Amino acid sequence: MHDFDTIRYKTYLRSTSLGRNIAVFPELESTNTWLKTAVSSGLSDGMICLADRQIKGRGQYQKHWVSEPCANLTWSYLLKPDTHDRLFLLALACIHAVATVIERNYDLGARIKWPNDLMVNGKKMAGVLAEAVFNGNHLERFIVGVGLNVNQRSFPDYVPEAASIAQFTGQYVDREYLLAEIVNETDLFLHAWMGKDTNLVQQINRRLIGYGKRVRVSVDGIAHDGDMLLLGVNNHGHLLVLDNTYTVHTYSYEQVRIDAHTI
């Protein structure tokens, strides 16, 4: 395992803006925290912050994101969209890009578990933590942090769901090439998001675990009575489910989870 090589990463990069400006750190508290707290003047739209090791990597639901140093990829995008509409969809577009590359380059079936998990054969390979920074009503920055398990060969017992690409393929993965491929793909999906391309929503729904199935939904850890029919996400990236009284519920809240046992 070696330190991330920015020069080699750039040889694979095709995007003209996204990920061209990249701040790489051997060690950082958290790439999301760094982009959240850095002074605005030093930040450009589409820049990336990457750390080979995070001391306080943060996950969804106030959990820690633990990752073996130099084995995996932990990075965040700094985005400055013109609107704060459809931010859930924007975060989903980022995880969909990761899934697309994993499927295409490593021949692994990658699915999205709403809101922001990437699953392969029932195991979690990546997760996204999206955070918006507002100045009054104005969206100042939108940070999308991605933790992707790449070359780690074993995981602690307290994360039994976790798995890496290398565990499935048996091969060492080139992190610089992989990140560049992901950024190239993300660039396409960000343009689709900006252009309100309905194809993006369709592609995400095609990848969505439980799509069209009866699932058990829990809100703040409390299971909703009875199964619900998962209708997919709408063009805001919000989750739509139909309950057994034929009422559609729209969820835009990360504390809503789809119970995997029902899928």
Quick check: 129 binds ligand BTN (CB under 6 A)? yes
CA 55/CA 60 separation, integer angstroms? 16
Quick check: 258 binds ligand BTN (CB under 6 A)? no
Give CA separation, 25 vs 22, 45, 147, in Å.
10, 19, 15
Binding mask 165-194 for ligand BTN (x = CB under 6 A): ------------------------------
Identify the DSSP state of 168. Answer: H
Tell the smallest beta-carbon distance from residue 75 to ligand BTN (Å). 6
Quick check: 147 binds ligand BTN (CB under 6 A)? yes
Q: Helices (H) and strands (E) in the chain — how many of each?
A: 6, 13
Q: Where are the alpha helices (DSSP H) in the chain?
A: 6-12, 31-37, 87-106, 165-169, 175-194, 198-207
Quick check: 115 binds ligand BTN (CB under 6 A)? no
Q: What is the CA radius of gyration of the chain?
A: 18
Determine the Cα angle at 43 with ends 54 and 254, to 5°.
Answer: 55
Quick check: 128 binds ligand BTN (CB under 6 A)? yes
Tell the smallest beta-carbon distance from residue 27 to ligand BTN (Å). 13
Quick check: 65 binds ligand BTN (CB under 6 A)? yes
* Interface segment toward ligand BTN; rule CB under 6 A; list 5-13, 38-46, 69-77, 214-222: 69-77
Quick check: 257 binds ligand BTN (CB under 6 A)? no
Interface contacts to ligand BTN, rule CB under 6 A = 30-32, 54, 57-60, 63, 65, 74-76, 117, 127-129, 145-147
